Structure 1
Amino acid sequence: MDGTGTRRGPAGVLAAWGITRAVLLLLVLKVFVLPGPDVTSDVSVIYRGWYEVLRGGTFPLDDVTWQYPPGAALAVLSPAVLPFLDYTAAFVVLAVLADLAVLCLLLYGGRRPGRPLRGARVWTVGAALLGPTLYTRYDVMVAAVAVAALFAGVRRPRAMGALAGFGALLKVWPALLLAGAVRRRSWVAAAVTAAGLGSLFVLALPGALSFLTAQRDRGTEVESLGGLVFQVARNFGWDGQVLLNYGSVEFVGPYVDVVSTASLALTAAAFGWLLWWRLRARLFGPAAPADAAFTAVLLFTVTSRVISPQYVVWLVALAAVCLCFQGSGMGRPAGLVLAAALVTVLEFPVLFGSVVAGDLLGVGLLFVRNGLLVAACATACRALWRSTVPGPTGPVSPVGSSGTRATAR
């Protein structure tokens, strides 16, 4: 890339980010309103309620919708740093700043020699495709921590581990960033950070670990891969219901526990595959940690009993990091995730009524969105295996496409 292209690249990305985020803010502020349920109610009602409880010195013990690790309290309490704004406005401002932090990290990664600006472009477009959900859930804040962790891991494994451990206290999934960590220092730093901060939460506020029980008792959510079983079955006489349960719209009725157990078994199998990959992997190039993290989170998302729209925020962020490394093989999975993001905003909030009703349009959207995620997961697993595992189906040389020699484990 020449000097002119380098200058124009970030300027174009920043301009696109500004335009798309202005549109998102107009949607959040309800200047324009998308069809479907009000996506801002999670902040104005649920988060605000938790905020008051947490300020009282305890976690929301009597609220089954509180299903997050103790670090989530920091995100919920964060609007207190902007006391001159009401809770919802302050939360949205902080979400926008987290979004901007992700972009800046990606631009920094993209400006280094040999690293294109594809990652920043993927985040700018992909996150915007999710609509106002981006700014009305705290997942964008967690994504910023995860992106920082993966970039820190290039030269500072301890910093990566500490950020991954902190992120896991916010929403568990950043622990999967360690899937491709080569240095033990990353794992040790993550464990020390999570244990240290977790202990402080346990000592400071009652109910810090109550989220474990709430997560255990969850059922199969209507948007999940397992939920498609009942989306189809209820058109053939399945005697069950769709209810608001544990803070999400879930299926309740015969065989739901069977499908939920099957989803957990698939998650266990996914972790088994990750372990098998890690035991076989020998070639760790610069892109390997990000590729492994993206693949691990895809596996977790696809096999989960719940696939909420905000989960796609995680995937878009990790896909963007992967594409900041020229040797990454995650181009096709990233494209599939972007397509899934577009379908996601259609199924929630725009046509969520059809999803809940289980009509042809709603079920069709879920088949497409979940199918895209499954395809992304399968292609990511294949690309990760081929780039890191030597042998007939693995790379024939430790030299990646970028010309950078991979690191043997």
Structure 2
Amino acid sequence: MSLRAMMTLARLRSALLPAATWAWTRGVLLLYVYNVIPYISHGDITGDLKLYNHWSNVLSTGHFPQNDPSWQYPPGASLVIEFPRLVRALTGMSYYSAFYAMALASDLIIFLLVVYRCWRTQEETGNERIDYVGAYAYVAAIFMLGPFIFGRYDITVTMIASVGLAVSLRTAAATWRLRGAAIGLGTIVKVWPMALLLGLPRGRDGRRAVSWAAVGGAVPTLLLLIMPGALSFLKQQGGRGLEIESVLAAPFLLARHFGYHAVIRNRYGSWEIIGPGISAIAGFCELLTLLGFCWLLWWRRRAKLAPERWTEGVYYDASLVAVMISIITSRVLSPQYLVWVCGLIALCLAIAPLKQGGTVLAGPCWLLLGTISITQVEFPLRFASLVHGSTKSALFVTGRNALLVGATVWAAYLLWKRYVVVEAVPEIPKTEEEREPEPAI
């Protein structure tokens, strides 16, 4: 047996425990999904799937659900929503089972990419032992979010984004072409993968990735624009207000208990708080998002990131901060949005310590994992009481959101401190021979 084969076999053996942990946790989640084990609210697992199934019926007729105010997704989302219908036609599975299978496969691919990143870290550092902390973090994060993630297409978008983050091919050119194409495809499916562009390396590799991101996004979009209503989501998005779980909705939820007149209604597929001044705050969210990304562009301009100093730690760290900014400034903060950061947290924790070019965001990553661990208390356990105006539920959501904001601010501070605020290097005293003679007076 060759040395390379022996190394591969040793790696596979070392990965048996994290793989078994993934299989066990996902088995438990699927028992909840199929109602073998009763869950807090099985309807919260399948609720969005009913809508996806309806949309797939509409899409199969050759046009987008343009008259449905709940359709607020870029045209590429139709590819993910329609895929289980294709599987159903080929295998005879129900739309629901086909969707669960797609979600499970996406979850497995993310897990394998994180394991592969752990293997590469061991190669780069020369350590004898492979550290699987990133893989375990990913397994735990999805498990703590709960079974509803198998009834949302966000896990598939996260898989596409993870390909754009972690895949590695034989040559740098091929790697960045594929990564860029994945970012472009993810962007037309659910916009947020565009944030990954902010962490790309400077120079040829970065330009190559941006070019292929444009191709990966433009080609499918042009094909989908043939279908009527492909851009109808823009109209629906413009009319949205503040969803009750969003960061800026929290003050209004609390203000209701001090006499502020506001109501909670189901609009555009989510529960929104409606009252005086809220529409202006909803518009302000877009400004906050813009300001956040302007700050990231300023960081990128100021950062000491010559091509030879760039590492994947920079890529993952900048991407995590960008995605967190988009989450905390959004008008909507559904629990499945936290799926977006699960892969990024895992990849950050899978790379080497800072001295070898690793993450600087280990602290914020663990804080985010702690926040994820309490999310099922907010949804679905306390969600009904939140909709009906419970003070305790409003306080809980406010606390959860405060943790998300705190993690984001902390991560942004560390990103700026590490790559922009560079400590001055003390000057080494010159020897007698090196000193220039003082000019004669």
Match of 1:91 in 2: 99
1:42 and 2:47 correspond: yes
TM-score (norm 1): 0.91
Question: Percent of aligned positions with the same letter in both sequences?
Answer: 37
Q: Which one-letter code corresponds to 2:157 in the other structure? A: V
Distance 2:256 2:13 in 1: 53
**Cα distance change, pair 66–361 in 1 and its aligned pair in 2 (3 A):** same
1:81 matches 2:87:
yes
1:273 aligns with one of 290, 295, 298: 295
Q: What is the distance in 2 between the residues matched to 1:256 and 1:123?
A: 36
Output aligned runs, 1:43-192, within 5 Å.
43-79=48-84, 80-83=86-89, 84-112=92-120, 113=123, 114=125, 116-152=131-167, 155=172, 156-182=175-201, 183-192=206-215
Structure 2 unpaired stretches of 5+: 1-6, 353-357, 427-441
**Contact 1:119–1:322 at 8 Å: present in 2 too?**
yes
CA distance in 1, matches of 2:366, 2:196: 21
Partner of 2:17: 12
What's 2:372 paired with?
341
Report deviation, 1:388.
2.0
Give the number of aligned pairs.
392
Task: Output the aligned Cα RMSD.
Answer: 2.0
- Structure 1: stretches of 5+ with no match in the other structure: 398-409
Q: 2:106–2:155: 8 Å Cα contact kept in structure 1?
A: yes
The Cα shift of 1:367 comes to: 1.9
How far apart are the structure 1 equivalents of 2:42 and 2:32? Answer: 13
Change beyond 3 A, Cα 1:396–1:281: farther
Please give the alpha-carbon distance, in whole angstroms, between the structure 2 residues aligned to 1:153 and 1:189: 16
Residue 32 of structure 1, CA deviation: 2.4
Residue of structure 1 in register with 2:284 after alignment: 262
Distance of 1:369 and 1:10 partners within structure 2:
33
Deviates more, 1:353-362 or 1:332-341: 353-362
Cα distance, 1:57–1:370 mapped onto 2, change above 3 Å: same
Any idea what the Cα deviations from partners look like across 1:274-332, whole Å, max 9, x if unmatched? 11101111232231111111110001101111110000000111111122221111211
Superposed CA deviations along residues 135-188 of structure 1, whole A, max 9, x for unmatched, are 010010011111111113793222111110000011000011111112111111
AA aligned opposite 2:229: G
In structure 2, give the amino acid aligned to 1:129. M
Q: Name the SS of the counterpart of 2:312 in structure 1.
A: coil
8 Å CA contact 1:219–1:250 kept in 2: the answer is yes
SS state at 2:272 partner: strand
The residue aligned with 1:315 is 341
SS in 2 for 1:30: coil
TM-score by length of 2: 0.85
Specify the SS of the correspondent of 1:199: helix
2:275 aligned residue (250, 253, 256): 253
State the structure with more CA Rg: 2
CA separation in 2, counterparts of 1:82 and 1:117? 36
Distance apart, 1:49 and its partner CA: 0.3
